[in-house]
Structure 1
Amino acid sequence: MNPTDLPVPHKRERRKQDRPGELLDAALDLFVEKGFAATRVEEVAARAGVSKGTLFLYFPSKEDLFKAVVRENVVHPVTQGAGEMAHFKGTSGELLEWMMLQWWHRYGATKASGISKLIMSEATNFPELAAFYRQEVIEPGQALVRTVLQRAIAQGEFRPVDVELALHSVMAPLLFLVMWKHSMGPCCPVSEQIKPEQFITQHAQLLVRGLSLPQTP
C-alpha cells in the first residue's frame, strides 16, 4: 500500500493523541511560574484547553502530573546524554566539559530548568516528591559524573581524589547557574549577566587543571 493511501487520523483523534503532551506543556509552564503548591490542576486543565476530568483521565493526581513532567523534561534528556557518552571520542577532561555543556543545552537553557528551583524551595514541604526527584534525576546525574571521574583516575588522567566529593564540585556550579537564571539573573543589568557556555567552559577547564596529574618531563 502506498503511504499516501493510509487513512489520515481525524482531527478529533489527533487532538486526543496530543492531549498528554499538551497537558505536560501546560503543567510545566505553571509549575515553573508558580511552584508546585500554588499550581492547581484546574489551571493546568484550563491552559491545556480541557476539563479537569479529562486531565485526571491521564494523570490521577497533581503528584502524578508533576512526576510525568519531570520524566519528560528532565529524566529524558539525561538518559539521552548517557547513551551518547558511551560513544564519546576524546580525553576524560574533554568528556567532562562536553557533558556539562550538553547538560546546559538540553536542560539548563530550557524552561524546564525551573524545576530545579522548585524542588530546592519546596522539598521539605513535599518529601515524597523530593525523594522521587533524587531517585530519578539526582542519583542518575551523579552516576554519570562518577563514571567520568573514575574512568579518568583509572586511566591515569586525573590524580586520585575522593570521587564523592569531587562530583559535587562538578555539579554545584551548574545548579548555581540555573538558580541564578530563575532568581537574580532577570533582575540584574546586562553588564552583570552570566554567559552560561563561557561560565561552564571555564569551570570545566579549572576542574580538569586541578584534577590532572602533573606531566612528567
Structure 2
Amino acid sequence: MCPIKCWTRRKEARPQEILEAALGLFVEKGFAATKIEDIARAAGVTRGTPYLYFANKEEIFKSVIRSLLVPQLAVGESLLKDWQGSARDLLIQLFQMWWRTVGETSFSALPKLMMAEGGNFPDVMALYNEEFIVPGQGMIRHVLQMGVASGELVVTDLDYAVHVVSAPIVMAMMLKNTPLSCLPADFAAERYVQCTLDLFLNGLMTRPVDVSHAQ
C-alpha cells in the first residue's frame, strides 16, 4: 500500500491534474461542451472531486489561466530582466520563446477558444486579457521602446505596433487549431517565426517608405 506521505502528495497534486485535464478538454471539445464530469473522468478522480477545489466550471477555467498559462510569462520576464544584448536579438528571442512555451503547446488553442466562446463568459475573458494578454503585450512594447531608444528600430506608432507585431503569431496559433488550416501541410514553426521577424525587422522595401503618403 502507498504510505501516508505518498497519499498526501497525490492529494496535493489533484488540483493540477484537474486543471491539466480541463485544458485538454476545453481545447478538444470547447468550454461550453465540456462538463465537470468529463473533467473528473479525464483527471482520474471521482465525479465530485473537482468541487472540492473549484466552485464551478468557470472557476476551473480561471484557474487554468492563472495556474497554467500565466506562469509561462515568467520565462519572458526573466529574459527581459537579464538581457544585455540588442533590441533586435531580444525581439527574436522573445518571439521564439513565445512559440516554444505557447505556440507548440495546448495553450495555442486558447486564442481561438476565447474568440469563439469568450463572449459568453466575460469574467474569464477579462481575466485572460488582464493577466496574460496585457502583460505579454507589455513585454513587446518594452522591447520596441528599447530599440527606439537605442536607435536600432524605427516605430512610428508604438500603440499599434504592439498589436501588429503580435498578430502573425496569434494567427498562426489560431490556424494551427482549425480543421481547415491555411498553413502549409509541412508547416515549420521556426521558419514562420523567422519570416515574421525578418519582415518586421528588415521590411519589404530596399529603402524606407512613408506609407502614410504612398499612392
Q: Name the TM-score, length of structure 1 as normaliser.
A: 0.86
Q: Would you say the 8 A contact 1:97–1:205 is kept in 2?
A: no
Equivalent of 2:161, from 166, 175, 186? Answer: 166
Query: 1:89 offset after TM fit, Å?
Result: 2.9
Equivalent of 1:124, from 103, 113, 119? Answer: 119
Partners in 1 of 2:132 and 2:150 — Cα distance?
A: 28
Q: Would you say the 8 A contact 2:92–2:197 is kept in 1?
A: yes
The residue type equivalent to 1:63 in the other structure is: E
Partners in 2 of 1:117 and 1:188 — Cα distance?
A: 15
Q: Would you say the 8 A contact 1:81–1:99 is kept in 2?
A: yes
Partners in 1 of 2:75 and 2:196 — Cα distance?
A: 23
Unaligned runs of 5+ in 1: 1-7
Partners in 2 of 1:165 and 1:201 — Cα distance?
A: 21
The residue type equivalent to 1:169 in the other structure is: V
Query: 1:63 offset after TM fit, Å?
Result: 1.1
Write out per-residue CA displacement over residues 41-82 of structure 1, whole angstroms, 9 at most, x where no aligned residue: 111011112223221111111111111111233211112211
Identity percentage of aligned residues: 39
Find the residue that maps to 1:194 and give its secondary structure.
coil
Partners in 2 of 1:112 and 1:89 — Cα distance?
A: 29
1:5 corresponds to: none
1:206 corresponds to: 199
The residue type equivalent to 2:20 in the other structure is: D
Closer, same or farther in 2 for the Cα pair 1:23/1:143, shift >3 Å?
same
Closer, same or farther in 2 for the Cα pair 1:152/1:197, shift >3 Å?
same
Partners in 2 of 1:157 and 1:132 — Cα distance?
A: 34
Query: 1:12 offset after TM fit, Å?
Result: 2.2
Q: Name the TM-score, length of structure 2 as normaliser.
A: 0.87
Report 1:97-116 matches (<5 A): 97-116=92-111
1:4 corresponds to: none
Query: 1:113 offset after TM fit, Å?
Result: 1.4
Query: 1:13 offset after TM fit, Å?
Result: 1.9
Task: State whether structure 2 residue 57 is matched by structure 1 residue 36.
Answer: no
Report the count of equivalent residues. Answer: 204
Find the residue that maps to 2:119 and give its secondary structure.
coil
Query: 1:168 offset after TM fit, Å?
Result: 1.1
Q: Runs (4+) of structure 1 moved beyond 3 Å?
A: 8-11
The residue type equivalent to 1:116 in the other structure is: P
Partners in 1 of 2:84 and 2:187 — Cα distance?
A: 30
Partners in 2 of 1:75 and 1:88 — Cα distance?
A: 21
Equivalent of 1:149, from 135, 144, 155? Answer: 144
Find the residue that maps to 1:24 and give its secondary structure.
helix
Partners in 1 of 2:41 and 2:185 — Cα distance?
A: 38
2:212 corresponds to: none
